[in-house]
Amino acid sequence: MEQQARLGLEVVQTVAQDFGIAGTDAAKIQIARAEAGHFWELLVARDVVPWLRVLARVHRSRRPPWRLNQLTYFVVPAGSGHTVLPAFEPTRGAAATVAWRLVKAAKLVREAEVVVRRLLPEFDGLAPEHLLHGDVVIGQSSFDRMVAGIFDLEDTLDGLRMLSFDEVAIANVALVASADEVAEQAAADLEAGSGDPSAMILAASVMTPDRGFPALAHGLSTDHVKMWGDTTVTDMLGSFRNAPSGLISRISRSAGIEPTTRWQDMNVQQLSRLASALLTRIR
């Protein structure tokens, strides 16, 4: 968590410097939300009144120079944002909340496994029994792959830490939650929005369009979709369980966009039309 604190401080200091408010009492910046250490939502207050929301994304270098962070962000007025739909509040249960966190943890563990399998051959020559004599020789390309893989593992561990299991009481009973209850938790994530498209795709994958499209429609009232990079409409809608491709095409046409349209390229009007189409599910 110390690394996350340093990264958060770096984000805050950069934004403060850009706004020319560093060191002043008239404007303060608070971290309102952080996801896996890479997606940050900041709240800038002026004279104790919320002024701006800053949605930031940190890109960490996978090549030399190592640890070079690139910060990109955009700014919207505090409390602003287009309201496509009224608030949506799914039911929640303690067991289902923990179960959904474990589903997200399982995704990260699988990602870590892929990285470890990729790294093991690189580290074969560094086992203790190979270090009894001679020189340790590591080629530049191998070294770069090692360091990049280590950073990937660090990012995965950061994501696991952000899931916050510390407050979960461990009782001598089994954790029981129905698939429907877990899907409700996933729907809550879709409705809340996230700057991480892979998190939204994971949430979509545990529910059918009937349940998930309304939640995603409400999530489109957030500004996070502008941080979804190259993720397309098809990428997101196609991740819902048993979502037919024909349905995705009809929804896209109804919204006046192509299925290959990137979310970050859509304007407010297009997002609003798409949200309406998701609710009606053009048949």
**Using CA atoms, how far apart are residues 139 and 121, in angstroms rounded to an integer?**
13
98, amino acid identity: V
Q: What is the enclosing helix (H) or strand (E) of 60?
A: strand 49-60
CA distances, 122 to each of 106, 113, 131, 146, 155 (Å): 25, 15, 15, 7, 19
**What pLDDT, on the 0 to 100 scale, is given for residue 117?**
94
Does residue 82 carry a pLDDT above 70? no
Instruction: Choose from 22-36, 79-93, 244-258 the range with maximum mean pLDDT.
Output: 244-258
Which residue, among 151, 139, 135, has the nearest Cα to 62 in the 3D structure?
A: 151
**What pLDDT, on the 0 to 100 scale, is given for residue 83?**
38
Q: Which residue has the tokens 């360091």?
A: 147
**What pLDDT, on the 0 to 100 scale, is given for residue 195?**
84
pLDDT bin (cut points 50, 70, 90) of residue 106 is: very high
Determine the topology of domain 180-280 in CATH.
Answer: Helicase, Ruva Protein; domain 3 (1.10.8)
Does residue 143 carry a pLDDT above 70? yes
Average pLDDT over residues 69-85: 54
**Using CA atoms, how far apart are residues 44 and 31, in angstroms rounded to an integer?**
9
202 or 175, greater pLDDT: 202
DSSP string, 72-95: EEEEEETT-S---S--------HH
51-68 pLDDT per residue, tens: 676 777 666 665 555 555
pLDDT bin (cut points 50, 70, 90) of residue 214 is: very high
The answer to whether the beta carbons of residues 210 and 244 sit under 8 Å apart is: no
CA distances, 235 to each of 125, 162, 248, 256 (Å): 40, 25, 10, 17
Average pLDDT over residues 237-251: 90
Whats the size of the chain, residue-wise?
283
Does residue 282 carry a pLDDT above 90? no
Helices (H), the chain: 2-19, 94-123, 140-162, 179-192, 197-205, 209-219, 233-237, 245-254, 268-280
Q: How large a percentage of the chain has pLDDT more than 70?
A: 63
**Using CA atoms, how far apart are residues 44 and 32, in angstroms rounded to an integer?**
10
**What pLDDT, on the 0 to 100 scale, is given for residue 64?**
57
Structure tokens at 139: 């080629």
Give the number of C-alpha atoms closer than 13 A to the C-alpha of residue 19, restricted to the C-beta side. Answer: 26
Pairing of strands 69-77, 39-46: unpaired
Pairing of strands 69-77, 27-35: unpaired
